[in-house]
Amino acid sequence: MGYSVVRIDEIEPAGPGGAVRFVRRELGVEAFGINWFDVPPDTEGRLHDESDSGQEEVNVIVSGSGVYRIGNKEVPFAAGTIFRFDPDTIRQPVAGPDGFTMIAIGARRGSYEARGPF
């Protein structure tokens, strides 16, 4: 039986402004990407898509609030909001006055095999 465990405060902050913690690397995950983001108040995240990687992405807002710029829309979010993005969807998170914390999970489309009715 194998497993790995890490506390988020044990992962060194990285990326622009130290906003990201590379969870996948620390846990040794090989099936999907997973990162933790702590975005400071009133900060624009990176405008991006996942066309090159082909990853479908899910973003879970853990705390705080802001808006996601998705195409020509600004979609507000708060803790408990969950987004799913197609690989070619251009998006940019923007933190509100309290900032936000988010978990981002991604994998190439078609890599998951549904098992049972769940």
Question: With 80 as the cut, is the pLDDT of residue 118 above it?
Answer: no
Residues 45-98 have pLDDT tens digits of 999 999 999 999 999 999 999 999 999 999 999 999 999 999 999 999 999 999
Concatenated DSSP letters of 67-89: EEEETTEEEEEETT-EEEE-TT-
Comparison of pLDDT for 60 and 116, the residue scoring more: 60
Question: With 80 as the cut, is the pLDDT of residue 35 above it?
Answer: yes
| Residue 75: predicted pLDDT | 98
Alpha-carbon span 60 to 105, nearest angstrom = 8
| Residue 15: predicted pLDDT | 87
The residues near 71 (Cβ < 8 Å, ≥ 6 apart) are 89, 90
Alpha-carbon span 99 to 66, nearest angstrom = 7
Our measurement of the distance from residue 62's CA atom to the centroid of its chain's CA atoms, rounded to an integer in Å, reads 10
Q: Are 55 and 105 in contact (CB under 8 A)?
A: no
Q: Which residues pair with 61 in a beta bridge?
A: 102
The CATH class of 8-108 is mainly beta
Where does the pLDDT of residue 29 fall: very low under 50, low under 70, confident under 90, or very high at 90 and above? Answer: very high
pLDDT over 70, % of the chain: 98
